[in-house]
Structure formats: C-alpha cells, structure tokens
Amino acid sequence: MKPKILSALLMLIVFSVPSFSLVSYGGDKMPEGFVDIQDVIPQIQLDIRYFGQHNFVGQKVDGYLAPKCILTREAASALFNVQKELETFSISLKVYDCYRPQRAVDHFVRWAKDIDDTKTKKEFYPTVDKRNLFKDGYIDSKSSHSRGSSVDLTIVALPAAQQEKYTPGQKLQECILPANKRFGDNSIDMGTGFDCFHELSHTANKDTGVQQRINRMLLKTLMEKHGFKNYDLEWWHFTLKNEPYPDTYFNFPID
C-alpha cells in the first residue's frame, strides 16, 4: 500500500474512534470516604443555604434532603485544624455549602437558562444580566463541590449571635450593601453576602473596606495554611489542594 494512502487510512481511524472523557461519575450512595462534618467538628456552625429557599435559585435545591455538610474525610480533617486554631480566639467557622450533588448543579443550570425567573435578582445578582451568568463564570455545568472537597464558609464570633431567619416572599436587599443593610448574617463582615454575583465578592477586591479585607485575609490565610486553595472570584469558596477525587463528580443525595 502506498505511504500516502496508508497515512490517510490511519488518520481516518484516529478521528473515527470516539473520545472518552477522563471525568467519572459516582453512584447514588455516599462512599465510605465521605463524612458528616459534625461528626468531625461537632461545634462547627451550619447555615446550609441550598436546603432552604434563601439562595439565588429561590427554592430548595435538588439533592439537599437534609441541612448537612458532607465532605471527604481528608477535607473534613483539614477543616478540623482550621477550626481548632480559630477557637483559641473565640471564633468559629460557619459553613454555607460543602459536597454538592451533580443533580444540584443541574438544577442551577436549569434555573440559569430560565431567564424569565429573576425573583432573586435584587439580592444575589443585582447588577448582572441573568443571560450572562454562564459567560461571566457564575454558573457552570460542573462544580468542584461535587468532588466532595470544596466548601463555602465564613467566620463567626463566639458565642454566635442569632442568625436572621428568611421568610419566603420577604423584601430582598442587595448583597453588596453594607452589612447592616443587607440580609442579616451572624458572621464577621466579609464585605458582601454569600453567593453574591458581583466583583465585590472577588477575594482581593480593593473596593471593600479595610476591616472586610482583613477578615477575608484571616479566613484565606488559615485555610491555605491547612491545605486549601481559594477561588479568587469568591471569598467564601475553598478546595482542598490534594483532593482525593479530582476527576469524580458525585451525585448521591445529602440525607
């Protein structure tokens, strides 16, 4: 067979073979490598936003059957070390979200594509056109949370003040307003509310106040000391650097 014909055939074979993703998906049961954070850190504060209606979707999110924080054992152990350091100063971690089922991420995607549903815009994305949520990187079809070693969190002073309760239908306030004007959070002031789709949420944003930048740096420094890395567009989001399942997106429900 002539070299040119052989080369063409080889190219045809190569490009005819279907490509396979390196990403894998877990099943519907929690693997043994995952733990409930309260079994590791009983005193940690929880405010699991996607279990309720006070979130950017405006309703309980698919897969959240209980207000729990589930993490890989490795991430929970690292978080324990952060908590231990904070408690020496009478402060504590407060968690908004931990492991997130893929079905929850799919729920976010469906919501984002429904551009007519803007009932939470005033609080969570007051300056962003919903049509740009994918383009601007606020919503994606995959989340590191589904790998089980990412966590959204903040810091609260102890004893923790009472957390404001959200009543469905109540008037919403912009997440970029000063702390005393936005939705009440019993955490120290980080400059914006949680899940605030805005440039002020960028960890190193210099337009926040001095104290807010100090508070963010305290959280970031301690989390990095114990093996986490920050997502620079969200002051609250951290992922364990040596996560045990870097290519697996789990879908078991939180119950």
Q: Concatenated DSSP letters for 99-118?
A: ---HHHHHHHHHHHH-TT--
Q: Which of 74, 123, 174, 234 is catalytic?
A: 234
Q: Length of the chain, please?
A: 255
Q: What is the DSSP letter of 230?
A: E
Higher pLDDT pick, 129 / 12: 129
What is the tens place of the pLDDT at every residue in 211-236? 999 999 999 999 999 999 999 999 99
What is the tens place of the pLDDT at every residue in 97-123? 999 999 999 999 999 999 999 999 999
Q: Which of 55, 50, 46, 47 is nearest to 195 (CA)?
A: 55
What is the tens place of the pLDDT at every residue in 5-17? 434 433 433 333 3
**Concatenated DSSP letters for 37-99?**
HHHH-TT-EE--GGGSS-STTSSPPTTB-SS--EEEHHHHHHHHHHHHHHHTTTEEEEEEE--
What is the tens place of the pLDDT at every residue in 147-185? 999 999 999 999 999 999 999 999 999 999 999 999 999
Any catalytic annotation for residue 243?
Answer: no
Cα angle at 164 between 59 and 108, to 5 degrees?
25
Strands 237-240 and 70-72, by their bridges, are: unpaired
Cis peptide upstream of residue 3 (ω within 30 degrees of 0):
no
| The predicted structure's pLDDT at residue 27 | 65
Strands 24-25 and 45-46, by their bridges, are: unpaired
Residues 234, 106: Cα–Cα separation, whole Å: 20
What is the tens place of the pLDDT at every residue in 25-76? 556 789 999 999 999 999 999 999 999 999 999 999 999 999 999 999 999 9
| The predicted structure's pLDDT at residue 18 | 38
Residues 58, 76: Cα–Cα separation, whole Å: 28
What is the tens place of the pLDDT at every residue in 77-103? 999 999 999 999 999 999 999 999 999
